Amino acid sequence: MKRLSLGLMILVLAVTLGCAGMSNTQQKTLSGAGIGAGGGAVLGAIVGGSAVTGAVVGGGVGAITGYILGEGDK
């Protein structure tokens, strides 16, 4: 569980610091991917499945959702 918390903290820092100079759509895509990956990892661990699989699926869904929301703002 400590590895999961450390990974989530690193992911949050990367998303926070990595958004400088990006367009609104790029920021929302990256934020959606980060939030989805974090949520998927936690959900995967809670239900007894693979946290890694949950992070991958959640990250993909979050990225797509963030992209769609970013494009909708235009």
Domain residue ranges of the chain, discontinuous segments joined by +: 2-72
Which tens digit of pLDDT belongs to each residue from 53-67? 998 999 999 999 999
Read off φ and ψ for residue 19, nearest 5 degrees. -90, -5
* Mean pLDDT to the nearest integer, 38-51: 88
Task: Report the number of secondary-structure helices (H) and strands (E) in the chain.
Answer: 3, 0
What pTM value is reported for the model?
0.71
The average confidence (pLDDT) of the chain is: 83
Q: How far is CA 21 from the centre of its chain?
A: 19
Task: Quote the pLDDT of residue 4.
Answer: 60
Which tens digit of pLDDT belongs to each residue from 5-41? 676 677 666 666 666 778 889 888 988 998 999 899 8
